[in-house]
Structure 1
Amino acid sequence: MKPLVSIITPLYNSEKFIVQTINSILNQTYTNWELILVDDCSTDATLQIVEEYTKQYSNMYLLKNQVNSGAAISRNKAILQANGKFIAFLDADDLWISNKLEFQVDFMQQHNCDVSYTSYYQIDENGNPLNKLVKALPKLSYNKYLKTNYIGNLTGMYNVATLGKITSPNLRKRQDWLLWLSAIKKSGKPALGVSQPLAYYRVRSNSISSNKIRLLKYNFLVYKKGLGFSYVKSIYYMCLFVWEQFFIKSKLIVAKNQV
């Protein structure tokens, strides 16, 4: 029997996108999965929409935060409840291509891989293609990954059987970067990248991650608070980050027709 994959999806006022997101999971060619959704005190129709799915599908579970707590706490709550051999993440506004799970699970088993991630496309807020492909590096060491976040969280998957359950620190942004850093460090092996694009990342006009300058302060907190680096060491790594992000990683974002 194929191994169970636990899919983690935090929710907050996601009524506009959550149906598309869940349907992209239901359309997976790989069928042995569970979906754990965690609502972070949504004030729109998100809960009602998701509850209709959980009534219909026995492998979908809805957890609810008592107070608004942020994505890290929501993801961690789901991780602790997960039963899968593999854990994957899909935020409530992103989408998977139908063979994403099947291709990635097979890839990880064939390569004895603890951590993997894939290339992905970018779409706009309305789901229109932006003609941009973000290419995955073939291998990603811990030291390379310290310099900038190369893993799109919607594409990442880790092996619980070999690594155990790995959770995120409670930072507002970039907590996923710290989770993948922990996973790669614990593995002792590089994360492996799948060159085939298997997901769609939705670029939101009002999101923090869409503003690279605003995001710099959250990157600094990854080094200072998340990793416990000194102020001087954090500044040093921020210099490496800027170089890596704007002069190296930027070259991995290409026009869709250049695959």
Structure 2
Amino acid sequence: MPRPTTSILMPIYNAQDTLARSVGSVLGQSRDDWELLLVEDGSRDASPALAADLAARDPRVRLLVPGGNHGAAAARNHGLSQARGRYIAFLDADDRWHPDKLARQLAFMQENQIGLSYTSYARLTPDDKLIARETAPARLDYKSMLGPNRMGCLTVIYDSHRFSGPQPMPDLPLQHDYALWLRLLRLGGPAFGLDETLAYFRVGVGTLSGSKRRAVRDIWKVWRKEEGLSRAQSLAAFARYAGHSLRHRVFQRPDPSGLTFGDDTESSPEQPPSPRRG
């Protein structure tokens, strides 16, 4: 089997209701030179059997079972250790991609000699109602990322050849992706955004305030411990983070049109329109 161009890392934990659609969005890519690494992280539902069945159907899909439950960062890192592709991409087991995501984004990177990129994406409710579109900034550097994380994990692709090989995520419960983006920006310069809606993020049911507090705690750890920022620098970054979060809550309400992205609509990720720009 030829070496894949892109390795896609997908941690799995209790995802029996969404896994098939997420994997299906990869199988449906218009560009087919990829491998999908499913990392089973100790699920207690039917996910392991479902993942095994999906992997048995296509040799590009590989199931990895390291054993136990170690969290998303450890699962992604385990997948990364087995990755064979030059480009590294990320997709969770409840999110989806537009069929042209890999084709459009890799062309964008290769034509412009970009090492780290991200795209715009849609935030959806569990029943596929559009909450908001997250627009990709044209360019992000290290300084501009000291604050809110403007790079959606499900949209990011990086060229491992530009960063001395694959780069693992720090072992944090939350914000491990953000910590990796900061490291990549330090190592390889700015990241560039493709303003096309090429991914669909499913917002979980009942996000708890405790999770938000843990996210703030972990982002503080990223600044202070991973990046070695002073307390004053971290407070300045937190002010930018808090300001962005407030604006996000005020201005991003559910779309009043009731637009859905389900299986039987014209805007379905499985039967989508052309990628939306802007």
Partner of 1:147, secondary structure, is coil
Matched, 1:68 2:49: no
Quote how far apart the aligned CAs of 1:162 are: 1.6
- Secondary structure at 2:53's aligned position in 1? helix
Alignment partner, residue 142 of structure 2 = 142
Query: 1:169 is matched with which residue?
Result: 170
Amino acid across the alignment from 1:133: R
Q: State the shift of 1:247 in Å.
A: 4.2
User: Which has the larger share of helix?
Assistant: 1
Partner of 2:9: 8
Q: What corresponds to 2:273 in structure 1?
A: none
Q: Deviations over 1:20-61 (max 9, x none)?
A: 000000111010000001111111000100101111111111
- Alpha-carbon distance in 1 for matches of 2:5, 2:227: 31
Name the counterpart of 1:97: 98
Counterpart CA distance in 1 for 2:277 and 2:138 is 17
Aligned equivalents of 2:106, 2:71: Cα separation in 1: 29
Q: Which residue of 2 aligns with 1:215?
A: 215
Q: TM-score of the superposition, structure 2-length normalised?
A: 0.84
How far is 1:65 from its partner? 2.6
Instruction: Name the CA distance, whole Å, in 2 between partners of 1:184 and 1:252.
Output: 28
- Superposed displacement of residue 158, structure 1: 0.0
Aligned to 2:267: none
Shift of 1:194: 0.4
Deviations 1:89-147 (A, max 9, x none): 00000000110000001000001000000000111112x22241100000001110112
Match of residue 205 from structure 1? 205
Check conservation: 1:133, 1:254, Cα contact below 8 A: no
Distance, in Å, in 2 between the alignment partners of 1:113 and 1:250 is 34
Shift of 1:231: 4.2
Superposed CA deviations along residues 1-22 of structure 1, whole A, max 9, x for unmatched, are: 9961100000101101000000
Distance 1:72 1:2, change over 3 A: closer
> Pairwise CA RMSD of aligned residues?
2.7
Residues in 1 aligned to 2:203 and 2:75: alpha-carbon distance in whole angstroms: 21
* Corresponding residue number in structure 1 for 2:124: 123
> Number of paired residues?
257
Q: In structure 1, the residue corresponding to 2:186 is in which secondary structure?
A: helix
Local SS of the residue matching 2:225: helix
SS, match of residue 246 in structure 1 = helix
Give the deviation of 1:243 after TM superposition.
2.5
2:132 corresponds to which letter in structure 1? K
Task: Supply the AA of the counterpart residue of 1:220.
Answer: W
* Alpha-carbon separation, structure 1, partners of 2:243 and 2:193: 22
**In structure 2, what is the Cα distance between the partners aligned to 1:180 and 1:251?**
26
* One-letter amino acid matched to 1:226: E
| Aligned partner of residue 83 in structure 1, secondary structure | coil
Quick one: which amino acid aligns to residue 151 of structure 1? M
Question: Is the counterpart of residue 111 in structure 1 residue 112 in structure 2?
Answer: yes
The whole-number CA distance in structure 1 between the counterparts of 2:130 and 2:156 is 22
Would the aligned equivalents of 2:7 and 2:85 in 1 still touch at CA under 8 Å?
yes
Structure 1: gaps (5+ residues): none
Partner of 2:22: 21
